[in-house]
Amino acid sequence: MKDFFKNILARSLAQKIAIIGATFIIPFLLFWQYGLSKDLKKQTSLEEEIDIKTSKIVYQGKLANNLVKAKKELAELEKKLNVAVSELPDSKEIPELLSQISTLVKESGLEIELFQPTGEELMDFYAKVPVSIHMKGTFHQMLKFFEKVGNLQRIVNINAIKMYNPEIVENKMVITTECVATTFRFLSEEEREKIKEAKEAEKSKSKKRR
């Protein structure tokens, strides 16, 4: 070994650099290429795989959270729908509801001059059921009637209110009031299907005209 180093020291600077490079650098490069480099590549590959799997886990976690949230929102909507359904009568209950409104007019001390359904207005899944009402009584009696209607379990809207022809009757100011009481009902499956068919037929006619 001493002779080896003496031999190196006796050589020129260029030769010394070449010998050192051949002795130390080349083996290191070979080790890098065939040993350490492969390990680093494997490590990098594993790190990338971990990142991908972590991203998938995070994404799936978000999906799971969104799914739970969506289920809760759906449950809330179903509750609201059930409440809405309970407040809208079906076709069998409409006569009873109208009779109930008529009774409320009398219970409020009002005199009925007209109580007439004016025909249903069909929508996509429900129908409007308006009733034209003409009645006479004091302003206080009118308010009492409107309050009673507002306390009904079923939905009944009062609109198009007109008050006119005030007159004194037995020392009381009596007025004539006209209004429209509108309730609603869900359409049956058969009725919804007919409406759908009618709309499709209308669309088909419109396309032919073009």
Cα gap 140→53, rounded to integer Å: 73
Picking from 150, 149, 156, 145, the residue whose alpha carbon sits closest to that of residue 185 is 156
pLDDT tens readout for residues 71-111: 777 667 666 655 555 555 556 677 888 888 999 999 999 99
Q: Which one has a higher pLDDT value, 83 or 193?
A: 193
> pLDDT value at position 36?
46
Clarify whether residues 183 and 109 are in a common domain.
yes
* Same domain flag for 98 and 189: yes
Together in a domain, 22 and 71: yes
Averaged pLDDT of the chain:
75
Query: Which structural domain range is residue 27 located in?
Result: 1-87
Residue 208 belongs to some domain of the structure: no
Beta-strand runs (E) in 143-191: 156-169, 172-186
Encoded amino acid at 75, one letter: A
**Residue that is last in its domain, among 50, 68, 87:** 87
Residue 202 domain-assigned (yes or no)? no
Q: Are residues 162 and 100 in the same domain?
A: yes
Domain C-terminal end among 87, 102, 119:
87
- Say if residue 115 is in the same domain as residue 189: yes
Give the number of domains in the chain.
2
